[in-house]
Structures are given as C-alpha cells and as structure tokens.
Amino acid sequence: MSKLIFEKSVKGARSFTLPGSDLPDRVPEEIPADFLREEDPLLPEVGEVEAVRHYTELSRKSYGVDSGFYPLGSCTMKYNPKINEWAARLPGFAGLHPYQPEETVQGALELMYELQRMLCEITGMDAFTLQPAAGAHGEMTGAMIIKAYHNSRGDTKRTKMIVPDSAHGTNPATANMLGYKVIEVKSDERGLVDVEDLRSLMSDEIAGLMLTNPNTLGLFEENIREIAEIVHAAGGLLYYDGANANAIIGIARPGDMGFDVCHLNLHKTFATPHGGGGPGSGPIGVKGFLVDFLPVPVIEKSGERYRLSYDRPRSIGKIHAFYGNFGVMVKAYAYIKALGNTGLKEVACNAVLNANYLRTMLAGSYDIPYNRLCKHEFVASARKQKKETGVTALDVAKGLIDRGFHPPTVYFPLIVEEALMIEPTETETRERLDAFVEALLEIDREARENPERLKEAPHKAVIRRPDETAAARNPVLKWEPGK
Ligand SMILES: Cc1ncc(COP(=O)(O)O)c(C=O)c1O
C-alpha cells in the first residue's frame, strides 16, 4: 500500500516560494476570537514533484470509463465525448450567475428551451422541465405531478402506487416518500409484467404504475400498450423510468407507448459522466394534460425573447435551486445536436447489438435466465457456479477486478439469483467485448479448478474485500492523525 501524503510529509518542504508578507504580524481586531484557530492546520509538507506524484497516483487508482470497460448494468457507463466538456466549460456558459437579469442570459435560456423541445421529440412528450438533479429526483417530481393531478380532480382515494418486482429501488422508495402504499406487480415467466396480476391489482385507489422499459432485465415490455390501457381504464397514470432509454432513443418513444410522465437520465443516456456523486440531471416530460403541474419557473418564448415564468398557479412548486444543473444540460444539448436523429438511433442499435453479442458469447458458461433477444443489457447468473463450485456472483465480480475490468452490477434485479447485470453500451469495440468474454470464461474455469483463489480475489486491488455495508454506511473520507 502506498504512503499517504501526510506520511510523506517532511518538515519545511515546499512546492512553492512566495515573497515574504509585508502585512503586520497580528490578527485584525475585526475577526472575533471564536473564529480564530488555536493551532496551525496540519498540512502535509512536500515538494512539487511529490505533490504531482501523489495526485497522479491517486488518479491511477480510480477506475472510470476513460480507463477501461465498465459494464455496470442499469448505469449506462458509456464513453462521454470530451467535446461536450469543452462546450460546458465555454466562459459564456460556465461564468453565468443564476441571479443575472434575464436579458443577459438569453443564450442560456434558448439552450434550455431548445433542449426541452428536443427531449419532447425524443420521448413523445409535450413539455419538459430540466430541474430535477438525478433520476431519483425526476421520479419524485413525476410522482408529485401525478399526485397533484389526482388531487386537482378531487380524486383523493388514490393512495397506492404499483411497481414491478424487477423495479429499481428508487421507484418504490419514491412512491413511499410521497406517502403512497407500494403495491408490487409480479413478473411472469418471461421476465415481463404479469398482465393478469396487474389487472387484478387495479382499483380506484391506484394512483399509477411506475415502469422501466426496457425493464431491468433488459427486456422490452411487449405488452406495454395493453398495460397502459389497463392502468388508464382504472383512472391511474403511467410513469416511465427512463434510466434505460439508451436502448430505445431514436427508435421508440414512451409517449407513444402510453406513458403520461417520464424522466430521462442525462447523465446516463446523454453524455454526462456519472458516478462519484457528480452533478446529474433527470428532466421530466409530461403529456399535455399535466403541463400546468410542472415545477416553476417555466421557460417561455415570446417572439425571439425567452423568459422564466412563475405564473403557474397549479404548479407543484420549485424542486431545485434556480433551474437545475446547467452544465449537464449544455453537454446533453451538444451531444444531441452532434448525433442528430440518425446518430441517436445508432446509439440505441449498437448498445443493443453489443449486449446481445455478450449474451450469446456467455450463454454456454453462465446461466442466462431470460435468454432471448435483449435490449441494451442482460442479466446473467452465477447460480450454476455457486451450486457446482461454491463461487458466487460476488467472487466472479472480484475476479474481474484482477483481470482489469470493472464488474457488472451484482445481485440486482432481485428476482434473479446470483445476478450479474451486464450493460456493455454502444461505445465499446468488438475487441474489448471479446476480452471481457475471455475474462469471464477464464473465471468460470478458475471456479472449477481453484475456487479458493477466486474466493480470495481480488489479489491485485489496493482494497480487497471491504465490509461493503460498513463502507457504504460509515465511509471514512478523511484522514485524522492518530486514528
Ligand atoms: C432503472 C433505474 N431507475 C432509476 C435510477 C435512478 O437514477 P439516479 O441514479 O440518476 O438517481 C437508476 C439508477 O441507476 C436506475 O438504474
């Protein structure tokens, strides 16, 4: 394990030389004593070369889409073209202040307005808000709109929200946060919403159904039209979780499938790098009859001028400081403009092709519970390895780290035992996919020949088998002397 920068510290070492201060060596009286330090801060003291090496070493320890294959299912970890970063950093965008008068930010408002229009075209919705900061935040905004709609009609009996048993955890969590009772609809033997089960759950207490399509098994809900009819006939609304939109952009639209509200993850589908808690964006689109409930402010265009309007009495209110994460919107705008209709369609086609290639190549060695044409991702299972050798999905994931790959999502969706949820995305080459297949086949061989070695993997990573619950619940993010 390499040394911490504090451990490399040598008293008096410096990365810079500044001229001596010509200010009096005393604390100005205006600073209250309570705000003064009693001791000097403990800062590492190193020369420039050691400081540079420290940060370079840290960056090499991180793994991201720019360093290798990242097939984390449900996350769409694809390459994000650097030109979009350039666009977001343009001084005219990056230097804006949210309190600037409207007439000085016309370009930014135009970009947001146009982005909303493009997202409407991509999804088949009638209006969008760009405010939500992530998919989960979009879900919450969408579910608030659904609630506001029912309430506006005096339909206050609708206290239940349906989510499939394959749903991402944010769907039931969102519904629960808004006070809905979560009702689970079963998947059928083909991995799709069980239409008869759904029918049996419908009543005048159902506010709606939250659905991902393709679902978290990477399978397209073929009965989506019928599902929409069932929910609508009972007075409920359909919410589209757009986390998997990378599979369908340019090809199919939630608005045409019968969804009333939908979110998109700009940080998955539209070229913002994600992970590590960076800013995301989960815009919400709605059908015409829900437009009045969108959050304020709404961007309006009159003639050639753009303005922010708060004049929406039925709005659910404000859901983000100012207008959302603007830099992410610039990247999405640049990405969509660069690809155009044909390019977006190619994204979806290649994402689907890559997933099906991997699925086919792995099917002989790993169980694929729903082994048929998938969309952008598929779920394999290590249950055969577990039964025959004791090696689990977690061990397979750790074995991949030793072979230079980021593991796929494991143990999700919950309806697949020993799940390995693999999403290659469209930006990977055939050579990269083949290398990944080879790594998984080698792991399968190792499971049979030397399972103990896999049980102790990863052998090459800095951190090997942390207590993942403790690491997530009690992260140690800062070094403190003596601890
Ligand atoms: C299917 C699905 N829905 C919703 C979300 C939530 O999106 P976010 O992480 O942007 O909040 C995710 C995130 O991975 C997801 O995979």
Calculate Rg over the CA atoms of the chain: 26
- Looking at the structure, tell me whether residues 397 and 284 fall in a common domain: no
Q: Would residue 477 count as lying in a domain?
A: no
Q: In angstroms, rounded to a whole number, what is the distance separating the alpha carbons of residues 134 and 11?
A: 45
Q: In angstroms, rounded to a whole number, what is the distance separating the alpha carbons of residues 67 and 76?
A: 16
pLDDT, tens only, 137-183:
999 999 999 999 999 999 999 999 999 999 999 999 999 999 999 99
Ligand 1 atom closest to the Cα of residue 212 is: 1
Rounding to the nearest 10 degrees, give the CA dihedral for residues 48, 50, 52, 53: 160
Q: Which two tokens mark 281?
A: 């964006």
Q: Would residue 423 count as lying in a domain?
A: yes
Ligand 1 atom closest to the Cα of residue 268 is: 10
Q: Would residue 148 count as lying in a domain?
A: yes
pLDDT at 112: 98
Distance 298 CA to ligand 1 centre (A): 25
For the entire predicted model, the pTM comes to 0.92
Q: In angstroms, rounded to a whole number, what is the distance separating the alpha carbons of residues 269 and 80?
A: 10
Phi-psi region of 19 (alpha: psi -120 to 50; beta: other; left: phi over 0): beta
Interacting residues of 372 by C-beta distance below 8 A, sequence separation 6+: 219
CATH number, residue 356: 3.90.1150.10
Ligand 1 atom closest to the Cα of residue 280 is: 10
Axis crossing angle, helix 326-362 with helix 106-123, rounded to the nearest 10 = 30
- Looking at the structure, tell me whether residues 217 and 134 fall in a common domain: yes
Collapsing DSSP to helix, strand or coil, 194 comes out as coil
The CA–CA distances, whole Å, from 307 to 102, 108, 111, 334 equal: 7, 11, 12, 22
Distance 398 CA to ligand 1 centre (A): 23
pLDDT at 275: 66
Sheet of 419-422: strands edge to edge?
Answer: 378-381, 419-422, 409-410
Determine the residue of 139, 168, 319 to mutate for testing ligand 1's pocket, defined as the one with the most ligand atoms within 8 A of the Cβ atom.
168
- Looking at the structure, tell me whether residues 200 and 259 fall in a common domain: yes
Q: Would residue 378 count as lying in a domain?
A: yes
Interacting residues of 99 by C-beta distance below 8 A, sequence separation 6+: none
Handedness of CA 213, 218, 223, 227 (dihedral sign): negative
Q: Would residue 479 count as lying in a domain?
A: no
pLDDT at 101: 96
Domain end (from 287, 307, 338): 338
Q: Would residue 413 count as lying in a domain?
A: yes
- Looking at the structure, tell me whether residues 253 and 360 fall in a common domain: no
- Looking at the structure, tell me whether residues 259 and 374 fall in a common domain: no
Pocket-forming residues, ligand 1, beta carbon under 6 Å: 74-75, 134-136, 168, 170, 212, 216, 241, 243, 265, 280, 282
Nearest CA to ligand 1 atom 10: 135
Q: Would residue 30 count as lying in a domain?
A: no
DSSP strand pairing (419-422 vs 378-381): antiparallel
Handedness of CA 257, 222, 182, 414 (dihedral sign): negative
pLDDT at 277: 60
The DSSP letter of residue 72 is: B
pLDDT, tens only, 298-334:
999 999 999 999 999 999 999 999 999 999 999 999 9
Q: In angstroms, rounded to a whole number, what is the distance separating the alpha carbons of residues 431 and 293?
A: 48
Judge whether 447 and 380 are in contact, CB under 8 Å: no
Total structural domains within the chain: 3
How distant is the alpha carbon of residue 4 from its chain centre? 31
- Looking at the structure, tell me whether residues 401 and 455 fall in a common domain: yes
Q: How far apart are the first and last CA of the chain?
A: 17
Domain end (from 338, 370, 405): 338
CB-count exposure of residue 207 (10 Å: 0-12, 13-18, 19+): buried
Judge whether 123 and 142 are in contact, CB under 8 Å: no
pLDDT at 1: 61
Distance 136 CA to ligand 1 centre (A): 6
Determine the residue of 70, 72, 74 to mutate for testing ligand 1's pocket, defined as the one with the most ligand atoms within 8 A of the Cβ atom.
74
| Segments forming the whole domain that contains residue 49 | 1-16+42-62
Q: 380 has which bridge partners?
A: 420
Low-confidence ranges of the chain (pLDDT < 50): none
Count CB-CB contacts under 10 A for residue 345.
15
- Looking at the structure, tell me whether residues 289 and 402 fall in a common domain: no
Judge whether 377 and 77 are in contact, CB under 8 Å: no
DSSP of 200-248: HH-STTEEEEEEESS-TTS---TTHHHHHHHHHHTT-EEEEEETTGGGT
Q: Would residue 278 count as lying in a domain?
A: yes
- Looking at the structure, tell me whether residues 323 and 353 fall in a common domain: no
Q: In angstroms, rounded to a whole number, what is the distance separating the alpha carbons of residues 201 and 198?
A: 5
- Looking at the structure, tell me whether residues 183 and 244 fall in a common domain: yes
Q: In angstroms, rounded to a whole number, what is the distance separating the alpha carbons of residues 418 and 437?
A: 18
Judge whether 469 and 410 are in contact, CB under 8 Å: no
Domain end (from 285, 310, 338): 338
Ligand 1 atom closest to the Cα of residue 244 is: 1
CATH number, residue 86: 3.40.640.10
Nearest CA to ligand 1 atom 7: 135
- Looking at the structure, tell me whether residues 103 and 249 fall in a common domain: yes
Count CB-CB contacts under 10 A for residue 406.
18
Collapsing DSSP to helix, strand or coil, 314 comes out as coil
Tokens 């700009």 identify what position? 266
Tokens 């809905």 identify what position? 180
pLDDT at 482: 78
- Looking at the structure, tell me whether residues 58 and 138 fall in a common domain: no
- Looking at the structure, tell me whether residues 306 and 385 fall in a common domain: no
